[in-house]
Chain A
Amino acid sequence: MSTGADSNGRTPVLELRTLCKSFGGLQATRGVTLRVMPGDRKAIIGPNGAGKTTLFNLITGIYPVTSGQVMLFGRDVTSWRSDQRTRLGMARTFQVTSLFPKLTVLDNVLLAIQGLRQTKFVMWRFMSSYKEAYEKAYYLLEQAGFFDRKDVEVRNLSHGEQRQLEIVLGLASDPKILLLDEPAAGLSSGESTEMARFLMKLDPKLAILLIEHDMDVVFDVCAEISVLHFGELLETGTPEQIKKSQRVQEIYLGIG
């Protein structure tokens, strides 16, 4: 079988097979092979321009791949559109906050909830008549501590709040794998500690693939770290191994 099941017979939620991407002459992703099992917490680190966000854009179908395969839940989704991949159970957040700035917090979450429902095409009934969607939105907002700010327009939230809401939107579709693109980007150290605590509270069955610069968040949240350098996966290991690795220190910290 080509589903790549592990020794326990489990299918990986996400598997990348020698994934490559070139933009003209620039090879942004070079033969990345990666496997994420259910409930895994993995991180990808690497210096600026290593191709981390490009990798996410390949996984989520924003860019077409040059060669290689993207497998989600054992299915080859390499040529699928983004929304089709999301429907399988994938969600992602963005490095640059991508919310709906002029809509309220509640409307943002409702859009995320409707995304995977066929009711999104209904045009003869008021949105407000979908009580169940509202209840779910209230639940999610309460969990994240946003309930009192549900009627605030998102552009009026602080940067830290917007980063958290990014994740709430990702969770609204009940994904099985969540791709987090630098959730702590631009946060103060206090805020990023809070972010790490927030991530650790998430359902342990949810697989998380994380890109992050903030090493504290990575070491707190993830059990396994891969290092990306010029589009290539150089090393994979536990946080301890990565911390000690001579090679990682050379490329990542820039000390000979």
Chain B
Amino acid sequence: MSSEKIKILVVIAVLLALAYIIPHSTSFVVLLATRALVFAILAMSVDILLGFTGLASLGQAAYFGIGAYLAAIMTTRYHFGLNWDFWLLIFLGMLAGAALAAFFGLFAIRASNVYFLMITLALGQCVWGLAYRWSSLTGGDNGINVPVRPSFGLDLTNERTFFFLVYGFFIVSLLLLYILVRSPFGHSLAGIRERELRMRILGYNTWLHKYIAFVIAGAFGGLAGVLWAFTNGIVSPETVVLTTSVDALLMVVLGGAGTLVGGVVGAAIVFGVREYLSTLVPWWQYVLGGIYVLTILYLPSGLMGIPAHIRQWWIQKSKDKNPKKLASVTS
């Protein structure tokens, strides 16, 4: 129990430090951090499925995309969401993500393992196809420019203020999802991840639990999408392309599945390497690839698993040093 509290305190300390350090950095770093935080929300929605329910989804870009396109279309066509109704737009974005997930879930949740992965991939590609082909609505390949940001008392054109808005959304999402995974429902998801058949015999309608988790993940994907439209300033098929889904999944694996905050670490590394290292060297993709391979080979529990590894190693070392003393403790 106490180790859990230490973890929470560390996370809070790091998040507070970020809130202090980043606004005092260059505007490039602020922009980078904002983008990473939006993707961190998307990565957490993937983690609900991958880390807590055991479902590897390769279609999370679909919900991200519907949120982003909704924001883009609403603001540019109807000038909706640029005022206090921004909060309504956030709600609608989550609703759209949830609704799309509720529809797709009917097909996807029937399958498991690699078949689930394939179906979510295929459904995600359907959304990409729509975004690409339905030019009258989505602007086709060119996408939609989102030139203005909402203003409601706050000056969101200021990158630092906008960072704090995204930061706030990230904190609230983290908190809500943390409560979710600690709730009885979250426990049931862990049970499904570990052994679904047993859960059915214990009286759980496992299909329904997975479906609800899928819809919730869709809602948070939609939220990240709305924020992305205003962060990026342009929404195009690039936003909903398969790479976005893969990125989100890899961020989770990199940071550590089943940790929630692992997604932030993953997002920070991916964006750091992609946006920062790419300005320095042309072979930055090899660095990212290398990090992925090494993590999966040597840290299957992700970067968040490093402290546990160190502790294990330390215990092992002290055990080797004085085996007698420890034996008497354990017995």
Contact = CB atoms under 8 A, between A and B. Distances in A.
Contacts of B198: 94, 98-100, 169
A115 B179 contact: no
Contact of B200 (A83, A101, A128): A83
A86 B201 contact: yes
A97 to B, nearest CB: 10
Interface stretch (B129-137, B181-189, B241-249, B314-322): B181-189
A62 interface: yes
A168 to B, nearest CB: 12
Nearest to A108: B191
A130 interface: yes
B188 A111 contact: yes
Interface in A110-135: 110-112, 114-116, 119-128, 130
A101 B195 CA distance: 9
A231 B180 CA distance: 46
Contacts of A169: 198, 202
Interface residues of A, number: 37
A91 interface: yes
B171 interface: no
Nearest to A100: B194
Interface in A8-67: 60, 62
A91 B200 CA distance: 11
A103 interface: yes
A215 to B, nearest CB: 27
Contacts of B179: 123-126
A190 to B, nearest CB: 21
A102 to B, nearest CB: 6
B222 to A, nearest CB: 18
A122 B201 contact: no
Given A83-B205, A111-B202, A173-B203, A102 B188 contact: no
A5 to B, nearest CB: 26
Contacts of B74: none
Contacts of B212: 121
Interface residues of B, number: 26
Contacts of B201: 60, 62, 82-83, 86, 91-92, 98
B191 A100 contact: yes
B13 interface: no
Contacts of A110: 187
A62 B188 CA distance: 19
A119 B186 CA distance: 11
A87 interface: yes
B299 interface: no
A194 interface: no
A115 B202 contact: yes
B258 to A, nearest CB: 9
Contacts of B186: 123, 127
Contact of A83 (B184, B191, B203): B203
Given A99-B198, A111-B191, A126 B182 contact: yes
A159 interface: no
Nearest to A119: B184
A121 B203 contact: no
A205 interface: no
Contacts of B199: 111, 115
A94 B205 CA distance: 19
B126 interface: no
A83 B204 contact: yes
Interface string A76-100: 0000011100110001101000111
A107 interface: yes
B290 to A, nearest CB: 29
A115 B195 contact: no
Nearest to B216: A123
Given A100-B195, A103-B190, A87 B203 contact: yes
B315 to A, nearest CB: 14
A125 B186 CA distance: 10
Interface in B195-237: 195, 197-206, 209, 212, 216
A60 B198 CA distance: 11
Contacts of B202: 83, 86, 111-112, 115, 169, 172-173
Given A101-B195, A127-B187, 16 more contacts: A62-B201, A82-B201, A83-B204, A98-B195, A98-B197, A100-B190, A100-B194, A101-B194, A103-B194, A107-B187, A111-B191, A111-B199, A111-B202, A112-B202, A123-B185, A125-B183
Interface of B: 179-180, 182-188, 190-191, 194-195, 197-206, 209, 212, 216
11 contacts: A60-B201, A62-B200, A83-B201, A83-B204, A94-B198, A100-B190, A107-B187, A119-B184, A120-B184, A123-B180, A126-B179
